[in-house]
């Protein structure tokens, strides 16, 4: 199997396929379904025939989650091992990839995070579930720990801090704090000017997430759907104090990056005109470089082109080496999305 292959090569990259259900509108319009998931065989088939073309292709992934899969299934089966790794002191990254409208934000954030009898709602996504699991595990171990989070957006190769209240009301761009990506020369990176918030409860993280998402959403309406063209990165860093058998104190540090990528339709729309040309180019650069970095890691085929985009520079300490990476490739089951779906299946499949 592919995951065994990855293990043999010492690479921990998992590619998961998730297909959302048809929306109510799509159902009302009797949109044909052209995607068929076989979770047991970990296969996805795209099948469609029209008078001028015939498509019938099957792809295998590390895991497949069909339209009836629940948020909890995805989390328990694919994400828990990654969260455990973070608690062991490693850096890990989870990406949501796919065309706009296929469920990237649903998978990562989901609907609600209001607790009911201590339980998250069934539509809560990966981020609130990961946060809850990290806190539960550390509390159950009575561990001494500290935690901080950052939440940023990468748009046009520029970093915006989603934890800082919106500066736009204080007038022009000059007041905008620009965040610089710096390298420490030892393979580590840090971001000068980025707000790091210390958090002590899961509830605090949910609030931060709401605040950041709201800011991202405002930007989206102001700047004409910016979020489909930007990447957002929510990172949780934990420091856990431990004692060695010799009684020596030791700090374990792990980081989890949760990345909601720009819509992948931007990758194929290279015909962008005017002011969009640069933007499309930059989005392409990040998504294409990410694909190349992952391919190189999987194949062990030499030089890893981290430096070719800000997204991969920013995540450099959490990709490759002793880290776990998971890509959730999101698709729609609808015939109208078939072209984009096939390009997502190809991209995700190449990453294996
Ligand atoms: P994206 O972030 O990729 O643009 P969204 O996460 O915003 O897409 O999803 C688009 C719409 O589809 C939203 O209304 C979302 O609630 C719904 N949706 C996505 N995935 C699912 C799913 N697995 N189950 C139910 N609804 C979903
Ligand atoms: Mg989204």
Residue 105 CB–ligand 1 contact under 6 Å: yes
Q: Is the CB–ligand 1 distance for residue 330 below 6 Å? A: yes
| Closest residue CA from atom 10 of ligand 1 | 101
- Which CATH class, in words, describes the domain spanning 68-327? alpha beta
- Residue 192: pLDDT band (50, 70, 90) is confident
State in Å: Cα 328 to ligand 1 middle: 13
Residue 143 has a pLDDT of 84
Q: In 9-23, which positions are buried (b, 16+ CB within 10 angstroms) versus exposed (e)?
A: eebbbbbbbbbbebe
Residue 109 dihedral angles phi and psi, to the nearest 5°: -100, -45
Per-domain residue ranges of the chain: 68-327
State both tokens at 241.
């104090």
Question: Which of 187, 183, 193, 275 has its CA nearest to residue 229?
Answer: 275
Amino acid 217: pLDDT: 66
CA dist., res. 270 & res. 288, Å (int): 12
Helix or strand holding residue 233 (H, E): strand 231-243
Distance 332 CA to ligand 2 centre (A): 14
Element (H, E) at 19: strand 13-19
Whether ipTM exceeds 0.90 = yes
Segment among 35-39, 97-101, 282-286, 304-308 with least mean pLDDT: 282-286
Question: Lowest-confidence range among 170-184, 212-226, 272-286, 305-319?
Answer: 272-286
Pairwise pLDDT comparison (169 vs 191), residue with the higher score = 191
Which of the pair, 267 or 232, is modelled with greater confidence?
232
In the predicted model, what is the mean pLDDT of residues 92-111?
Answer: 94
Q: Quick one: pLDDT band at residue 334, thresholds 50, 70, 90?
A: very high
* Closest alpha carbon to 93 in 203, 231, 210, 197: 231
SS3 219: helix
- What residues contact residue 226 under an 8 Å CB cut-off, 6+ apart? 155, 219, 220
Residues recorded for the chain: 352
Does residue 50 carry a pLDDT above 50? yes
What span, in angstroms and rounded, lies between the C-alpha atoms of 298 and 62?
14
Model confidence at 270, pLDDT cuts 50, 70, 90, reads very low
Which among 24, 47, 23 has a CA at the least distance from the CA of 35? 47
d(CA 260, CA 246) in angstroms, rounded, equals: 43
Mean per-residue pLDDT of the chain: 84
CA distance 69 to 76: 12
The residue whose CB lies within 8 Å of the most ligand 1 atoms, and thus the one to mutate among 73, 103, 263, 267, is: 103
CB 311 within 8 A of CB 266: no
Buried b (16+ CB within 10 A) or exposed e, 187-226: eebebeebbeeebeebeebbebbebbbebbeebeeeeeeb
Asked if pLDDT for residue 284 goes beyond 50, the answer is yes
> What CA–CA distances, in Å, run from 117 to 114, 120, 121, 205, 209?
10, 8, 10, 18, 21
96-105, 114-123, 317-326: which has the minimum mean pLDDT?
114-123
DSSP 73-133: HHIIIIIHHHHHHHHTT-EEEEEEEESTTSSHHHHHTBS----BTTB--TTB-HHHHHHHH
**Ion ligand 2: residue ranges with CB closer than 5 A:** 104-105
- Is there an atom of ligand 1 within 6 Å of 231 CB? no
Q: What is the DSSP letter of 199?
A: E
Higher pLDDT: 207 or 227? It is: 207
With a CB cutoff of 8 Å and minimum separation 6, the contacts of 254 are 85, 86, 87, 88, 89, 90, 91, 92, 237, 238, 240
Q: Going by C-beta distance under 8 Å and a sequence separation of 6 or more, which residues neighbour residue 103?
A: 18, 20, 96, 330
Pick from 165, 187, 189, 185: nearest CA to 177: 165
For residue 32, what pLDDT band results from cuts at 50, 70 and 90? very high
Least confident of 120-129, 171-180, 270-279, 297-306: 270-279
Specify the 3-state DSSP secondary structure of 194: coil
Q: Which of 16, 17, 19, 20 to mutate to test the pocket of ligand 1 (most atoms within 8 A of CB)?
A: 20
CA 256/CA 236 separation, integer angstroms: 5
């Amino acid at each position: 199997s592919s995951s065994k292959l990855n293990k043999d090569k010492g690479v921990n990259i998992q590619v998961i396929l998730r297909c959302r259900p048809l929306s109510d509108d799509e159902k009302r319009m009797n949109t044909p379904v052209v995607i068929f998931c076989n979770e047991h065989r970990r296969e996805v088939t795209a099948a469609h025939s029209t008078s001028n073309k015939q498509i019938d292709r099957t792809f295998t992934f590390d895991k497949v989650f069909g339209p009836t899969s629940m948020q909890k299934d995805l989390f328990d089966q694919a994400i828990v091992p990654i969260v455990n790794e973070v608690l062991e002191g490693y850096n890990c990254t989870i990406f949501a990839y796919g065309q706009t409208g296929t469920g990237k934000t649903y998978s990562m954030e989901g609907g609600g995070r209001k607790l009911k009898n201590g339980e998250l709602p069934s539509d809560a996504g990966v981020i609130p579930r990961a946060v809850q699991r990290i806190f539960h595990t550390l509390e159950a171990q009575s561990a001494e720990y500290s935690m901080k989070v950052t939440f940023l957006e990468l748009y046009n190769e520029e970093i915006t801090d989603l934890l800082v209240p919106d500066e736009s009301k204080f007038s022009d761009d000059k007041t905008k704090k620009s965040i610089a990506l710096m390298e420490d020369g030892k393979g580590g990176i840090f971001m000068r000017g980025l707000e790091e918030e210390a958090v002590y409860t899961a509830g605090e993280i949910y609030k931060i997430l709401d605040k950041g998402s709201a800011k991202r959403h405002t930007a989206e309406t102001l700047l004409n759907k910016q979020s489909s063209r930007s990447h957002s990165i929510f990172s949780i860093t934990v420091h856990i104090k431990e004692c060695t058998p010799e009684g020596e104190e030791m700090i374990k540090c792990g980081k989890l990056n949760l990345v909601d990528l720009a819509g992948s339709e931007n990758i194929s729309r290279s015909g962008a005109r005017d002011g969009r040309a640069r933007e499309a180019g930059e989005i392409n650069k990040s998504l294409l470089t990410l694909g190349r970095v992952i391919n190189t890691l999987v194949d062990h085929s030499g030089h890893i082109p981290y430096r070719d985009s800000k997204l991969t520079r920013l995540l450099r300490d959490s990709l490759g080496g002793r880290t776990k990476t998971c890509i959730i490739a999101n698709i729609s089951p609808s015939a109208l999305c078939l072209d984009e779906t096939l390009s997502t299946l190809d991209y995700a499949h190449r990453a294996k």
